[in-house]
Structure 1
Amino acid sequence: MAYGRPVEISQREAEVLAALGARLSNAQIAGRLHISVRTVESHISSLLRKYGVADRWALADEARRRDPPPGHLSGLPAPRTAFFGRAAEKDLAVGLLGDARLVTLLGAGGIGKTRLAAVVAELAAPSFPLGGAFVDLVPVGEGFVAEAVASALGVTERPGQALEDAVARHLGRGRSLLVLDNCEHLVDTVAAFAERLLSGCASVTILATSRERIGVPGERAVPVPPLPLESDAERLFLDRAAAADPAFDAARADVTELCRRLDGMPLAIELAAARSASLGAAGLLSALDDVLRLLSGGRGSVERHRSLRAVLAWSHDLLTDRRRRRDTPPPRTGRSEAEVLRGLLLTSVELIRRQRTPSGLHVAYASTSGG
């Protein structure tokens, strides 16, 4: 890369660069490639100019970056916190990636699909020698999926060649894995891209996360349910609460009740745990009661929306008044309660990734906020 941009080099220059990465001398390179030493020197001069580096040692470093180790997935999020549960879903997804061409982790927002996808991709990576990429589609607009994937892979568009074809050509060099995270707002675009890629490139496999199926023939879905309440959900809460306050202590019954009221939703649990330092478990239960009471739609409200209301209220409470007014989408006549809640939740959850709690703690859940 030169100044953050992929460097275009010829096939012969690529061979010379690889030889420099292997620490060969000019004479050894000439012998290996059956060219003169003067020609080797010419190629090295060209490479130094294109990469904007000073010497052959810097070129050797570029060679190692250009040829990552087998199974390398660019953009794969590095875990910052412990991962809990999901053994069945994890094993099923890894197994399906051995046979299916498109595997979709399917579940509600905040259920932990992104974190599960990262774990599954890391486990499956050795089966994909060419590697691939993990692409977050949250910031991607309609019609720009191919551009996002190409950028993640370091693929550049060439004159007379569609970007989708350039991506397919790159991934077609060997067995590769492409992870498309947060597909729900681009389902049609993702479906068209995936179908074109899978049809034109037999060596690529796609792992997607979405709130709905991608809808491509051969797609295999792995449902991602809430965490089991009396094991994984409680362990998640206690781990995140300890991160917020190492001295945190709570009665087992209070933790169990918190996780039950939050329906085992990882995002809701993490948001609650982030406030445990100031409120404690009993205070969280009391606050949750207040939130649900304020947001209750009356006797006809739907029970399953209660945890979503809690997530929305807490995340919304962390925003400044100005951002609340600016970023909360206005209600639209005819929208169901579920649709309004979903829109508000997605807005607030995306915003909270960039916010701090009043105590100064980051509430940035790349592992769960995207779903």
Structure 2
Amino acid sequence: MTDLGVDLRELSPQVLGVLVRRGADFAAAEDAVQEALIEALRHWPERPPDNPRAWLIKVAGRKLVDAQRSARARERRELRVHQEPEPGPTEQADDTLLLLSRCCHPALTPASAIALTLRAVGGLTTAQIAEAFLVPEATMAQRITRAKRTVSGERFDRPGEVGAVLRVLYLVFNEGFTGTVDLAEEAIRLTRQLAAATDDPEVDGLLALMLLHHARRRARRTSAGTLVPLAEQDRSRWDTAMIAEGVRVLQAALARDALGEYQAQAAIAALHDDAASAEETDWPQILEWYDELLRLVPGPVVALNRAVAVGEVDGPLVALRQVEGLPEDLPRRDAVAAWLHERAGDHEEAIRLYRRAAERATNVAERDHLTRKAALLYRAWQVDTPETR
């Protein structure tokens, strides 16, 4: 938001989407939009336009044509900004999805797709994105430049697969908070935009999933930064308004009878959020949703998460038999197996697996949590079984 009373960060991706839809090269279009924004900051305080979005489209179009002429591009496309009518709601919706589709093109690596999405659609600076991913700004700038170069060679005249966009947005959400920008909140903001621009229940499913998970954010860590497992969280710190919104969005999506993986995941999250305590969690219904999820997206990750629910419903020994059939190198497999062995009373094996899971942890918070679990269980085991050592 500027002191002009206009949210330029909100308008920037809209204008970029219009230029891209009209056939402009992605990198050149973004440069033109940036120049138009500079012109806006220069002229608007004295003469604010009646329609800021139309003004930016017009000026960015001129900048783009000027750049094309000066470079004598052989395949210049005249945008004819003056002759074209202002896009209507349908075109604006297409522009939003088109821009996200380009940023999430399958030719890009997940890291590049995330960076380009945050830069072009989220309106974040390269420095902000670099800080969020804990890399030097120059490294992030190179990554974004390479991503622009990759997608500039791809033809885009209509939006691509929504699923690819949702996967990238969920990756952004899972990055969480690592700098001055809360990427989880940024992902929710972008998903809200996509939900408003499309008519897809899976988009609403992802939005609901994000809201239901993000509602627990204040309870996930102690004041010292220690990770707090879901079962041990202080549920009075959960955001009940956000949970209520997530449930409303989910119910509307499910009512359309077009179940997808994000709706199923959101249903599981809603059941967790609905429980006043860990003991009141409706595990049988959660297991049913995991069965649906496994049908929709069969794979070892879903099977591992389902095993946790099996452990709660049918007991740890039944769940362990399912975990044993999963790949040895599957992330979190050792941690889940350790928890199940602990529930089954085999503390020695649980300690061994907690320690191995800690060694394989991909972040410090998870490693420290698993290390503490192993240490606490070891001390309790020493007290309970001194004669076996």
Q: Larger relative contact order (C-alpha < 8 A, sep ≥ 6)?
A: 1
The structure that is strand-richer by fraction is 1
> Shared fold (TM-score greater than 0.5)?
no
